[in-house]
Amino acid sequence: MAKPSDDQLFDLIAEETQVDRAALNRNAGLADLGIASLDVMSILFEVEERFGIQVEDEDLATCTTLGELMDKLAGAGAAAAAS
């Protein structure tokens, strides 16, 4: 499996959270965007389904910015691609 690109993740996050795609950037705080822990779980499930990668939900618990969240998701995808 290839790791998801930033654009793929931005699109997925916009779909799952109903946040305007144009408002999403890597430096945005999750709280500032109104992305709650339930939204993060929804994003996690969708990433697992679409990209076939496994991410431990506790790995995402410390994410405070969209960039941190995306790095964790993409990092799991890269690890899956390497194995």
pLDDT digits (tens, 9 = 90+) for 1-40: 568 899 999 999 999 999 999 999 999 999 999 999 999 9
Residue 80: what pLDDT?
59
Residue 29: what pLDDT?
97
Backbone torsions φ then ψ of 65, nearest 5 degrees: -120, 160
Structure tokens at 7: 């654009």
The structural domains of the chain, with segments of one domain joined by +, span 6-82
| Residue 61 to residue 21: CA distance in whole angstroms | 23
Residue 44: what pLDDT?
93
Which CATH fold topology does 6-82 show? 1.10.1200
pLDDT digits (tens, 9 = 90+) for 74-83: 887 666 566 6
Average confidence (pLDDT) over 41-45: 94
